[in-house]
Structure 1
Amino acid sequence: MDHKVVILLLLFLKSGHGNSLDNYENTQGASLVSLRNKQLAATSVDECAANCEAETEFICRSFQYHNKKQQCVIMAENSKSSPIVRMRDVILFEKKVYLLECKTGNGKNYRGTASKTKSGVTCQKWDATFPHKPNYFPDKHPGEGLEENYCRNPDNDQQGPWCYTTDPNKRFDYCDIPECEVECMHCAGENYVGKISKTESGLKCQAWDSQVPHAHGYLPSKHPNMNLKMNYCRNPDGELRPWCFTTDPNKRWEFCDIPRCTTPPPSSGPFYQCLKGRGENYRGKVAVTVSGRTCQRWKDQTPHKHNRTPENYPCKDLDENYCRNPDKETAPWCYTTDSEVRWEYCAIPSCESSPSSAEHSDGPVLPEQTPVVQECYFGNGDTYRGTSSITVSGKKCQSWSSMRPHVHNKTPEKYPDAGLIMNYCRNPDADKSPWCYTTDPSVRWEYCNLKKCSEAGSSAVESQPPAQVPSAETTSEPDCIVGYGKTYRGKKATTGTGTPCQRWAAQEPHKHSIFTPETNPRAALEENYCRNPDNDVNGPWCYTMNPTKLYDYCDIPQCAPALYDCGKPRVEPKKCPGRVVGGCVANPYSWPWQISLRTRLTMRHFCGGTLIAPEWVLTARHCLDKSLNPLYYKVILGAHQELKLESHVQAIDVARLFLGPSGADIALLKLSSPAMITDKVIPACLPSQNYVVADRTLCYVTGWGDTQGTYGAGLLKEAQLPVVENKVCNRFEYLNGRVKSNELCAGHLAGGADSCQGDSGGPLVCFEKDKYILQGVTSWGLGCARPNKPGVYVRVSRFVNWIEETMRLN
């Protein structure tokens, strides 16, 4: 049997023949507006899927499952035909076959909505008899998907889907349906979603969610749009074709052998004559780089040999010597005709009159002087106007003006008074707290990771809490939750609207079977107390005593933090975009873990460092080359100015030095006395052991180093830099294999922002959920802010055990 037919059969197996949920796309928090549906009881998602497969009164294209209600709704519509609304505690499942607009094999199972022939003639409806009397029609061929006038293949024609036409002189014609990239690839395989999982030399691929044997930054949870499933070959970084990390410890990665599809690729348009986003669809005729150098023709190999050829990248329009972006760079570029300069970016005029929107940028583009704004909310948060853009589970928010990955109607135009700016958390529809659509295609929306402002002594714009925060034990309200409240064992027994909770063991007024003391013995489902047995991201809940309201959430505050929270500055950082040349001057004291390492006698700054505990500072090993005598050094904490130190600055001697493991540019300094934790001096958080920062994660480097003539000398500066996966950073064009596995790269490949001399030993911190994590120690680079030469940082997560053991024993 033809291998495509086998794959097709596997793809569309009925329930009971394999995992039926593999045939569905699922989206949390999404509810479909359906006119034709059935509501059924179901104790599991699998049972609901079986109901959808077994439906005979209509074609079931989707279903949604309400976990707490144990309710299944099967529907004739999907998101292509009906709008989607936000809803808690629901997951929408849509059959993939009705979402695809491509065919596998001869398209016998194509169920898309194409309705024109390859010559552009509109198709005749299958139940119509004019202008042509059909041989195939819905009543006689019920399993062939003969709906409306969509292209189909009811007779298993080897030339693919077809239809009767509305042209009286042309009875039927074939439709131009592109091949699904299942076991073949179009272009460079950027959209390949097949299941090949061996390399061209026969090595088995490493799973994308595994860090063994090779640690990497292509994390499925951080790159939900890249379809990094199982250990299947993929192309997330603009390579020549799909590849994978291998299970061979001696071979980090290798290409996979995937044939090209024989049908034309689907259109990747629209194309532009100006710069939009990263310029991947730029098709203009600019052929000069930013420095004025002429571009080398893409098909030529002189003066520079390369593999970005028209043959290797057939869909990227590499004609002549025009600037293009074939490989997911940050902007169009070209090889130059200057033998001394291999390649450069091009100066392409923007399609927008203003800077690119958040839909296309790597993060919020804030004005140079951003005021410190409120990062907590009052009431239900409908007046919140802060800049938080992270959800409770750590997902990045989608821009309100964007329709990717989620189409919605909460736009700035429709809600002009809701403050729907960039991708900031907001509450345009008076929900219980600020929320946003997420950038994860499988999670439509979530509440944001924000806390309520203290009602006492706070103003609507307050963002700097007092220096000393009382612990949970000393607060007047001990009934509180940590995180989602899964471990909450308090005695709150009313919902947020004041409705009494039903006892978990009771079956009146609501019958239920999933969340009972017997089925969840470890969840402490006692009495009628609010609990969170399913770790709901909205917090503790209960079944209610209101017969018309099955369940609702309880309004229980978050527990107050300890004396200090690592990685949480009391002054909101400016977070200026790295596109600002050389970064920008930081808001004073917004990076409170930054220290200045100085010689004790001259008090001259020469290196940076990071406070990671009251008595401990992490820095680069090479910063201690001057002397191994701890009395030689002095640590300055809480400073903003390099020379004119403020009165509150703490200057502490170094008591002991600890050099990192052999070959690692890392060292620990133990202070002669603990630093006083204030609103200007707070430690950064350490990452978990062996944690790998995802590729393209936006992080921040700070320091008083050489500014290369840019503004801000003598003041603490910051720069926003994207992490560059080691696989990319080690390419010939960049650092050519110099970067080790215990190091990481960060920087704009166009140059312009970087750490520099004097920043060595300082922090590279990345924001994760609600705090800044120290992921890198500034180590080395080839020059400062040079194009194609990102900075290199010690990967702190590789040394967490050494750090913690050293601090514990000393």
Structure 2
Amino acid sequence: MLVVCKSSFSLEPLGLSIASQRKCRQTGPVIFSVILSICYLFVLLVSAVVLDEYAKTEGAWILSLVKREYSVGTVLECAIKCNIETAFTCRSFMYIEKDQECLTIPANGKIESVLRRTSTSLYEKKEYLMECVNGIGMDYRGTKSKTNSGKTCQRWASKYPHKPNMTPSTHPKADLESNFCRNPDGDSKGPWCYTTDPDIRWETCNVQNCSEECMHCSGKNYRGKISTTENGYTCQHWNAQKPHNHGYIPSALLEKYLEENYCRNPDGDPRPWCFTTSPSKRWDFCSIPRCTSEPPRVVEELTCATGDGSAYRGTIGVTASGKACQVWATQTPQQHNRTPDNYPCKGLELNYCRNPDHEKMPWCFTTDPETRWEYCKVPSCGDVPGPAPPPAEEDCYVGDGTDYRGMVTETISGKRCQSWSSMTPHSHNKTPQVFPKADLRRNLCRNPDGDRAPWCYTTDPSVRWEFCSVKRCPTIYPERLTAVIADCKVGNGGTYRGPTSMTMLGVTCQSWSAQSPHQHASFTPESHPDKGMESNNCRNPDNDVNGPWCYTTDRNQKWDYCQIPDCAGLTCGQPVTKPRRCFGRIVGGCVSKPHSWPWQISLRTNTGVHFCGGTLIAPQWVLTAVHCLESSKRPSAYMVVLGTHTEGANEPSKQERKLEKLILGPGETDIALLKLESPAIINDKVLPACLPEKDYVVPPGTECYVTGWGETQGTGGEGLLKETGFPVIENKVCNRPAYLNNRIKDHEMCAGNIEGGADSCQGDSGGPLVCHAQNTFVLQGVTSWGLGCANAMKPGVYVRVSKFTDWINSQIKMNS
């Protein structure tokens, strides 16, 4: 007989109960398979429609006193519970997949604080997150609570100062909670509210129309769909690299909302812009009108600064060195575009120190013609952490990592960490002021609240936080555990098929096919046939970023993670001795840990004098700069030294190699390949760096590192390998007139601090610029040139290696 699949979605992944599957099987295997497929497609369609109503954030949790708890099998069921909730207006729900636990709540991130909690996903109804109106706004559910004239709204349930006609009880479907602007009576002027002014009973609220294409301030938060520039050019898609290569990659800069080819402002320009589809026009501004509604208000800080000081509105008007600030509205002695007209909402009054463009602290242009700009000395709000402790000798953590002081800035899934002092994209209270002893510098992974490992908030708006890609320090295990320690995982352990079947707390795992002591439907050998779930071994069927796990045989603990060590080996870009990753400077001094940059080579004359750097990219191949080879094109004029920390190269680990061949880069580019007469011996002190993907452009703000024995200008550390780290600067920014004024070509890249102080210098030429990603250092640049060393607004320039990967590979193949 034919059975229509009308069962609930709770017991099986396809939405069929066991009983319904038994009935369906009576139709025969072929018909059953067809019906099952139809049911599966139906479930997918329903899931997509229902869940599209919600914005999902991984690792987020709202602590609400009012809530309803349900035990459900799928996230779709939880969404349906929220949609039909009768106890309150359900604005969001939280779902814990492994526990199959669903919590519906009346709050969302606009009403209550969002906390962090592992393995939990927060789903918020989009209609309650919108801060604009459709039509007359009867469906407006935002949080604006001030009227057109700036008066605060009275709570709808309150009877003072005005006795309302419309209350939560008289209009239960109008969402008259708190004092938010609403339109319960269909007023043609849109949302309104009773006011707290006894003389004015009610007023309309100025809420932007959802269909209105406009921007507030400089358009940093513009999310409209204009995709044509003011000069009529069509915008290039942000995820495209043709016709223009760029570093504004949507997947790496999720907080910038670089969608489709819509105009955006990811770099602090005066207004939104885009790269164009015209090869002759790299980028252009977009013509977007200013909104008539009230812009977001900044809680002004008058005597001190929090985070980067973007909210500082005090009256300090001198720089840290004592120079008077120039009035923002004037163009002498410094010409600039940081004017009150170009940067509204930034408080650019008189000559007061401000931070209109996301610098690291308030600054100003100076009245000294020789000094264009400087930072200001504005006091920090609250307790200020003392001097930062030195980095850990090894970039690993002990115990729960509360004392971890390493330099990792990336989560276990490869997401970039949000700065602790920043409130975007995630607002939080884990700040340097609240946790002064936790060393919450920059966006470094830390554990301020005693979690089980170092973590950070991420720059992905949909993932609130994650644990970091920092390893636990090795432990000396008894000999009887050697076999277990040899069992290891790669990455998050999605491919792990080892024999471990015990949680990190020593509890035996429940078999994946068993339903006792814990019932579960989401993760079984049938639902995930390719995940190796035949027994009770630890596995990672849902690609949990924290690694393999299992359901446990402890009735009081449904599931837990397993302690599976990472596999390690001598692979490119992964030094055995972890680098210090110092954000000091080569000019100014930061000595590297010996052999922590094992791909760094010293290019020398045949008499042994160091004059340039280079990077080992394969056992017999080194990458360097062409201008290092100007004195001679004969291989016999040079030699390469590997495996040393000192310029004197007296260590036993030293390897010397003569050159067999010099291969200059194509055209007039500053890149060259050196073939060694014999391959280097790869060990813990000599190791290649990894090459990047073809044409990959490093996103702006990425932390990268340069190393070398170059000029230190008398600041110490001479004769020892030194390092510095600084952010990549997108070519669009680097080519601004105040920076390098259109000198940077597509096959080059910029990196440095715009205030100066950290740079490569003479003697570092040809050496590596490596960037850290997924626990690996990738060679992204070859040190090429610069205007002086460590000068403000003059970052270093590097050959972009990703533009030459095809050339490198073809030359190695041709000359092997």
**TM above 0.5:** yes
Measured at CA, do residues 82 and 300 of structure 1 come closer, stay the same or move farther in structure 2, by a change above 3 Å? closer
Q: Does 1:245 align with 2:275?
A: yes
Please give the alpha-carbon distance, in whole angstroms, between the structure 1 residues aligned to 2:594 and 2:531: 45
Matching residue within 491, 500, 511 for 1:503: 511
Within a 5 Å distance, the mapping from 1:751-766 to structure 2 comes to 751-766=756-771
Structure-to-structure mapping, 1:476-555, within 5 angstroms: 477-555=485-563
Q: CA offset at residue 598 of structure 1?
A: 0.9
Q: C-alpha separation between the residues in 1 aligned to 2:765 and 2:553? A: 62
**What is the CA distance between 1:722 and its match in structure 2?**
1.4
Unmatched 5+ stretches in structure 1: 1-14, 359-364, 459-473
Query: 1:348 maps to which residue?
Result: 376
Of residues 777, 780, 791, the one that matches 2:796 is: 791
- Aligned residue type for 1:450: V
State the 1:731 CA deviation.
1.4
Matching residue within 170, 175, 179 for 1:145: 175
3-state SS of the aligned residue for 1:622?
A: helix
Q: 8 Å contact 1:323–1:346 — kept in the other structure?
A: no
How many pairs align?
Answer: 768
Deviation, 1:777, is: 0.3
Counterparts of residues 573-584 of structure 1 (less than 5 Å)? 573-578=579-584, 582-584=588-590
1:449: which partner in 2?
Answer: 469
Q: Determine helix, strand or coil for the equivalent of 2:372.
A: strand
Q: Which of residues 261, 267, 271 in structure 1 aligns to 2:297?
A: 267
Match of 1:8 in 2: none
Q: Please say which of residues 385-394 and 613-622 is displaced more in the overlay.
A: 385-394
> 1:286/1:41 Cα in 2 relative to 1: closer, same or farther (>3 Å)?
closer
Relative to structure 1, is the Cα distance of residues 95 and 301 closer, same or farther in structure 2, using a 3 angstrom cutoff? same
Q: Distance in 1 between matches of 2:452 and 2:392?
A: 25
Match of 1:64 among 94, 107, 110: 94
User: How has the CA–CA distance of structure 1 residues 625 and 518 changed in structure 2, closer, same or farther, with 3 Å as cutoff?
Assistant: same
Deviations along 1:143-198, one digit per CA (max 9) or x if unpaired, are 32212333323234455533224555432234566788962111111121223333
Map 1:304-319 → 2, pairs under 5 A: 306-319=336-349
Select between 447-456 and 430-439 the one with higher mean Cα deviation: 430-439
Q: Deviations over 1:34-89 (max 9, x none)?
A: 33333445555455334423334321111122233444332112234445444332
Q: What secondary structure does 1:584 align onto?
A: coil
1:380-779 correspondence to structure 2 within 5 Å: 381=401, 384=404, 386-397=406-417, 406=426, 425=445, 432-456=452-476, 477-559=485-567, 561-562=568-569, 564-578=570-584, 582-601=588-607, 603-643=608-648, 645-779=650-784
C-alpha separation between the residues in 2 aligned to 1:771 and 1:584?
21
* SS at 1:566 equivalent: coil
Matched position secondary structure for 1:211: coil
- Mapped to 2, the partners of 1:272 and 1:232 lie a distance apart of 36
Quote the Cα distance in structure 1 between the aligned partners of 2:210 and 2:752: 36
Please tell me whether the aligned partners of residues 616 and 670 of structure 1 are also in contact (alpha carbons under 8 angstroms).
yes
| Inter-CA distance 778–354: structure 2 relative to 1 (3 Å threshold) | farther
Aligned partner letter, 2:248:
Y
Aligned to 2:62: 32
Find the residue that maps to 1:635 and give its secondary structure: strand
Match of 2:11 in 1: none
Query: By how many angstroms is 1:761 displaced?
Result: 0.3
Partner of 1:471: none
- Match in the other structure for 1:195: 225
Aligned partner of residue 781 in structure 2, secondary structure: strand
Q: Which amino acid in the other structure matches residue 692 of structure 2?
A: P
Q: Which amino acid counterpart does residue 798 of structure 1 have in structure 2? A: K
Whether contact under 8 Å (2:752, 2:758) holds in the other structure is: yes
Mapped contact 1:277–1:356 kept (Cα < 8 A): no
Q: What per-residue deviation string (whole Å, max 9, x for no partner) do you get for residues 335-376 of structure 1?
A: 66677x6x7223422313999879xxxxxx956xx3652433
Offset, 1:290: 7.5
Give the C-alpha shift of residue 739 in structure 1.
1.2
Distance 1:389 1:543 in 2: 31
Greater displacement, 41-50 / 137-146 = 41-50
Question: What is the Cα deviation at residue 666 of structure 1?
Answer: 1.2
Q: For structure 2, which runs of at least 5 residues remain unmatched after alignment?
A: 1-44
Q: CA–CA distance in 1 between the matches of 2:268 and 2:113?
A: 34
Q: Is the 8 A contact 2:384 2:432 kept in 1?
A: no
Aligned to 1:464: none
User: How far apart, CA to CA, are the structure 2 residues paired with 1:225 and 1:356?
Assistant: 28
One-letter amino acid matched to 1:503:
S
For 1:512 and 1:94, how far apart are their aligned partners in 2? Answer: 25
Q: Give 1:344's aligned amino acid.
A: R
Equivalent residue, structure 2, for 1:164? 194
Identity among equivalent pairs (%): 56
Matched residue SS, 2:265: coil
Q: Cα–Cα, structure 1 residues 745 and 412, in superposed 2: closer, same or farther, change >3 Å? A: closer
CA–CA distance in 1 between the matches of 2:47 and 2:656?
A: 69
Equivalent position of 1:254 in the other structure: 284
Q: Deviations over 1:520-551 (max 9, x none)?
A: 33223323332222211122223334455443
Residues 229-260 of structure 1 show CA distances to partners (whole Å, capped at 9, x for unaligned) of: 34332111121211122344443322222111
Amino acid of the residue matched to residue 186 of structure 1?
H
* Bigger mean CA offset, 732-741 vs 280-289: 280-289
Distance 2:794 2:695 in 1: 25
Cα-to-partner distance string for 1:765-809 (whole Å, 9 max, x where unaligned): 112232322111001222322222211101112222332333344
| Alpha carbons of structure 1 residues 629 and 229: separation in structure 2 relative to 1, 3 Å | same
Range with greater deviation from structure 2 (658-667 or 738-747): 658-667
- Residues 77-135 of structure 1, C-alpha deviations (whole Å, 9 max, x = no match): 22344454443322101234434566677654443445555666654443445554433
Amino acid at match of 2:582: C
CA contact under 8 A between 1:28 and 1:442: conserved in structure 2? yes
**Offset at residue 620 of structure 1 (A):** 0.9
Change (3 A) 1:42 1:698: same
For 1:41 and 1:645, the matched residues in 2 are separated by: 68
- Tell me, in whole angstroms, the C-alpha distance in 1 between the residues paired with 2:92 and 2:658: 66
**Deviation, structure 1 residue 724:** 0.5
- Report how far residue 604 of structure 1 moved: 1.9
Is the CA contact 2:511–2:536 (under 8 Å) kept in the aligned structure 1? Answer: yes
Q: Normalising by the residue count of structure 2, what TM-score does the alignment of the two structures yield?
A: 0.83
